[in-house]
Amino acid sequence: AAWRGDTGDIVYASEELMAEKDRFMQIRAQFPVGLKNREFLVFYQPKINLKDNSIAGAEALSRWYRNGTLMMPTEYISDLEQTMDICKLDFYVLEQVCRDLRRWLDEGRQAVRISVNFSRRHLINLALTESILEVVDRYRIPHELIEIELTETVTDVEFRDLKRVAGALQEAGIYTSVDDFGIGYSSLNLIREIPWNILKVDKNFLPVNENAEGERQNIMFRHVVSMAKEIGLICVAEGVETIGQVNILRKCGCDLAQGFYYDKPLPVKEFEERLDKHFYTNT
């Protein structure tokens, strides 16, 4: 197939690429409508305190309820990052989180810290921290109840912005976490140079049930946890799926666990039931 591209040149592409472009254009065109019609939902995945099995917090994850089906973030996040629309979505999620937190506080529920993913696309925004605080303060949310998760894969230029943003958020008492630790490019540099409160170890680096092949993986995990703890970071294991993993996490001194073993990301009503129960009974 052929069409005229952005530069006016004729572009030739395979059917596959055409279908991909179609899909992208659809997401791009439907996003403003979806946002306006409140098609984006916030799901909450609990984070469990490994010491006493209580709910320590949750991660807010978006879902797009579109044409009768629930679209997962992997189907739209990277497209929205290309167009910068992701910034609008992240603030929409933050606002919904603050609204829910405000309601939980008003209802006398025990509020827990909620984390929101913020794309690296925000980093060029010099007013980012002010904009986040504007939302949080408008709902009168204590700053320590909000955590901003920033992913570790950033370019050199973004690195400086990341340092500035993480510092400013921390100064304001908002928690910051480095997401997906282990799978990026400059992990150690990032830990050394940037102030964080929380380290989220990616599921690919979690301990596996003890066996010969798992040994190296488990040793690495144990040392990542002790490094994090010694420099004063809260350590979260994400993608925890088995009791075997939970046992090793405890032995390693990991603080919090998040994963299907405890719960999938939950619609708000179901999450509220967990909040009220407060303790998990598995293990």
**89 contacts ligand C2E (rule: CB under 6 A):** yes
- Pick the piece of the chain touching ligand C2E (CB under 6 A) from 69-77, 140-148, 164-172, 185-193: 69-77
Q: Pick what 93 binds: ligand C2E, Mg ion, none; C-beta below 5 to 8 Å, kind-dependent.
A: ligand C2E
Element (H, E) at 17: helix 15-36
Contact code string over 102-131 relative to ligand C2E, x by CB under 6 A: ---------------x-x------------
**182 contacts ligand C2E (rule: CB under 6 A):** no
User: Cβ neighbours of residue 274 under 8 Å, at least 6 residues apart?
Assistant: 46, 55, 263, 266
Q: Pick what 34 binds: ligand C2E, Mg ion, none; C-beta below 5 to 8 Å, kind-dependent.
A: none
Q: Indicate which single residue of 85, 100, 161, 180 sits in contact with ligand C2E (rule: CB under 6 A).
A: 180
If one counts every other C-beta atom within 10 angstroms of the C-beta of residue 68, the result is: 5
**238 contacts ligand C2E (rule: CB under 6 A):** yes
**18 contacts ligand C2E (rule: CB under 6 A):** no
**151 contacts Mg ion (rule: CB under 5 A):** yes
Angstrom CA distances, 270 to 43, 46, 106, 197, stand at 9, 11, 18, 28
Q: 245-269 as b/e, with b when 16 or more CB fall inside 10 Å?
A: bbebbeebebbbbbbebbbebbebe
User: By CB under 5 A, how many residues form the interface with Mg ion?
Assistant: 5
Q: Pick what 225 binds: ligand C2E, Mg ion, none; C-beta below 5 to 8 Å, kind-dependent.
A: none
Return d(Cα 219, Cα 203) in angstroms, integer.
Answer: 15
We find the least distance from the C-beta atom of residue 152 to ligand C2E, in angstroms, to be 11
We find the least distance from the C-beta atom of residue 202 to ligand C2E, in angstroms, to be 7
**241 contacts ligand C2E (rule: CB under 6 A):** yes
Return d(Cα 99, Cα 141) in angstroms, integer.
Answer: 9
Sign of CA dihedral 77, 27, 270, 100: positive
Element (H, E) at 138: helix 128-138
Q: Indicate which single residue of 47, 56, 62, 147 sits in contact with ligand C2E (rule: CB under 6 A).
A: 62
**161 contacts ligand C2E (rule: CB under 6 A):** no
Q: Within positions 201 to 230, which residues make up the interface with ligand C2E, using CB under 6 A? A: 203
Query: What are residue 175's DSSP bridge partners?
Result: 147
Q: Is 101 strand, coil or helix?
A: helix
We find the least distance from the C-beta atom of residue 46 to ligand C2E, in angstroms, to be 10
Token pair 């592409």 is found at 13
Under DSSP, the state recorded for 279 is: B
Residues forming contacts to ligand C2E in the complex (CB under 6 A) are: 45, 61-62, 72-74, 77, 86, 89-90, 93, 117, 119, 149, 179-180, 203, 238-241, 259-260, 265
